[in-house]
Amino acid sequence: MTPRKVYLDNSATTQVDRKVLEAMLPYFSEEYGNPNSLHAWGREARKGVDNARSQVAQLIGAEPKEVIFTGGGSEADNLAIKGAAWALKDKGKHIITSSIEHHALLDTVKWLGKNGYDYTVLPVDETGMADPKELEAAIRPDTILTSIMYANNEIGTIEPVAELGEVCRRHGVLFHTDGVQATGHIKIDVKELPIDMMTMAAHKMYGPKGVGALYVRKGIKLIPVIHGGGQEFGVRSGTENTPGLIGFGMAAELAANRLASGEIDNEIRLRDRLIGGLTERIPEITLTGHRTKRLPYHASICVKYVEGEGMLLLMDAAGIGVSSGSACTSGSLEPSYVLLALGLDHPTAHGSVRMTLSKDTNDEDIDYVLEKFPPIVEKLRYLSPFYKKNQ
């Protein structure tokens, strides 16, 4: 009998919404012009790109010209950090970030650190929260940029972005946030928040992969990372991925509708049902991340005495797709750096499982996971010599 299929890895990527796909299809065929061409084909493509830019801008309360399209979230992070660092190098060369940032951000900052810049990595508390007071203490006269993510991909914690941004604003420091996991899932209004730049990615919100954007507040100068034909207001060269941008725009519009309708409340209910059910059924598990200040679709735990890879593989065999931050998924002998930053010990961090819901997840899916996962944990613990020694 074919097992039920339950995909709970939406922090990794989401299924493209059918309405998004339908919006994209004409731009592979009938409307195939280069949006930089002046003829009718090009003008039609340009109209589509401009509309997509407006849709993405409206989702976050920005002006269309403040949205720079990129080839994904990682590129947008690189553009924000390198572009701002290079533009402000005469003012200073000190950057601040946190210990739980995505590799696209941390590795970019570290690369700058090898090329004449200095950086400070702020710690987080046991829930993954950065402290605005520690940020303020870390700011120096030569600090030019701070980058702290809006919400963490692995543990779901939503950072105190408003407070962090206010600290930066008081000291005249640019504030960038990686909003890849948050955009389209929680309400964000950049006009109301002290955010200077924010990274977004279409495929985290039911759009296509390989399409991203960087919100850049009006008046901020960035040095381009990619040079060429001067597209995207001269900040990001390269012929636009028109179908992908159309898909991003539609995904943004649909996300705005979901946020306005209150549909997100059901995701929170299902998330809490999942977390509560796991806690009730499985002894010695640890919820990672903040209990309430977390993404509406995000549940993440650590299971003692069990390796994450074993749980992932047996869940997959049961038709359930999840992810793990344990060593085995990355080919490293070390557990997730995010979990270690929370203060978890190595054995506990090795037993991590992340379950992230979608807009289509339902109660029957949650029931199925709560039925299948506890016996999997029990089976793996029975095979673990560490667990037996503690019985």
CB 35 within 8 A of CB 232: no
User: Going along 3-44, which residue ranges are E strands?
Assistant: 6-7
Is residue 92 classed exposed, middle or buried when 0-12, 13-18 and 19+ CB atoms within 10 A define those classes?
Answer: middle
pLDDT for the residue 384: 81
Per-residue CA distances from 7 to 12, 279, 330 (Å): 11, 20, 20
Q: What is the pLDDT of residues 33-51, one digit of tens each?
A: 999 999 999 999 999 999 9
| Active-site annotation, residues | 328
Establish how many alpha carbons lie within 13 A of residue 126's alpha carbon, considering only the half-sphere containing its beta carbon: 6
Query: What tokens does 221 get?
Result: 């100068």
Tell me, which fold does domain 18-259 have in CATH?
Aspartate Aminotransferase; domain 2 (3.40.640)
Indicate the residue type of 186: I
How many secondary structure helices (H) and strands (E) does the chain include?
13, 12
Q: Where are the domains of the chain?
A: 18-259, 262-389
* Under 8 Å between Cβ of 154 and 308: no
Give the helix/strand (H/E) hosting 58: helix 40-60
**The token pair that represents 256 in the structure block:** 């705005």
Say how many residues make up the chain: 391
Please list the pLDDT of the chain residue by residue as tens digits (391 residues). 667 999 999 999 999 999 999 999 999 999 999 999 999 999 999 999 999 999 999 999 999 999 999 999 999 999 999 999 999 999 999 999 999 999 999 999 999 999 999 999 999 999 999 999 999 999 999 999 999 999 999 999 999 999 999 999 999 999 999 999 999 999 999 999 999 999 999 999 999 999 999 999 999 999 999 999 999 999 999 999 999 999 999 999 999 999 999 899 999 999 999 999 999 999 999 999 999 999 999 999 999 999 999 999 999 999 999 998 754 444 555 789 999 999 999 999 999 999 999 999 999 999 999 999 999 999 999 988 777 645 5
Distance between CA 186 and CA 199 in Å, rounded? Answer: 14
> Thinking of the domain 262-389, which architecture would CATH place it in?
Alpha-Beta Complex (3.90)
φ/ψ bin of 233: left (φ > 0), alpha (ψ from -120 to 50), beta (otherwise): left
Q: What is the pLDDT of residues 276-328, one digit of tens each?
A: 999 999 999 999 999 999 999 999 999 999 999 999 999 999 999 999 875 44
pLDDT of residue 388: 64
Phi, psi of 85, rounded to the nearest 5 degrees: -60, -45
* Residue (of 143, 188, 195, 190) closest to 169 by Cα position: 195
Per-residue burial over 256-278, b if 16 or more Cβ lie within 10 Å, else e, is: bebbeeeebebbeebbebbbebb
Backbone torsion region of residue 140, taken as left when φ is above 0, otherwise alpha when ψ lies between -120 and 50, otherwise beta: beta
Confirm whether pTM is higher than 0.85. Answer: yes
